[in-house]
Amino acid sequence: MFDEMGVVLAIIGAVVAALPASIGSSKGVGMVSEAAAPVIIEDPTKFSRLLVLQLLPGTQGLYGFVVGIMILNGIGVLGTLQAVTGIQGLAYLISALPISIGGWLSAIAQARVAVTGVSIVSKNPAQSSKAIISSTLVEFYALLCFIISFLMVMNINKI
C-alpha cells in the first residue's frame, strides 16, 4: 500500500509540475496576443517583432512539462513501472513545487512586461530589442525554478 501511495504522490507531482506552469503560460501568451492584435492589424510589418514577445511567457509551460515528464520517467510510467516508496513519491511532489509556483507566477509577470513591450513596439519598432530584453529578465527567475526542480528530480533515486 505504501509503495502504491508513492506512485500516486509522484503522479500528482507530475501534474503539479505541468498544470499551473502551463496555465500561467496560456494566460500570459493570451494577454500578450490580445495586446499585439490591434498593433498587427494596424501595421502587419510589426508581426515578427511582436511574435517574440508573445512567445516568451510560453516557456514556463515547457519547463513544467519537462519536469513532469522527468517525474513520470523516474517512476517508470513511460516504460516499466518501478517501485517508488512513499518518501520518494513525496519527494517527487515537493520537487514539482518550484516550477509549479514559480513557473505560474513568472509567466504572468513576464506577460505583463511583454504587454508593455507591445506598447513600445507599437510606438517605436526600432526599440523592440529593449522590450524583448526587459521581458527576458523575468525569464531568469523561471529558469531558476526550473533548475531547482530539475536537480531535485534528478536526485530522488538517491533517497
- pLDDT tens track for 3-31: 689 999 999 999 999 999 999 999 999 99
Number of domains in the chain: 1
Instruction: Decide if pLDDT at 147 tops 80.
Output: yes
Structural domain span for residue 30 = 2-158
Domain with 57 in it: what CATH number?
1.20.120.610
Backbone angles phi, psi at 56, to 5 degrees: -55, -45
CB 24 within 8 A of CB 104: yes
Report pTM. Answer: 0.91
CB 158 within 8 A of CB 85: no
Q: What is the mean pLDDT of the chain?
A: 94
Instruction: Give tens-digit pLDDT for 59-118.
Output: 999 999 999 999 999 998 877 778 889 999 999 999 999 999 999 999 999 999 999 999
pLDDT top residue among 2 and 133 = 133
Neighbour-count burial of 95, counting CB atoms closer than 10 A to its CB (0-12 exposed, 13-18 middle, 19+ buried): buried
In the block, cell 513544467 appears at: 64
- Spatial CB neighbours of 115, under 8 Å, sequence gap ≥ 6: 31, 32, 35
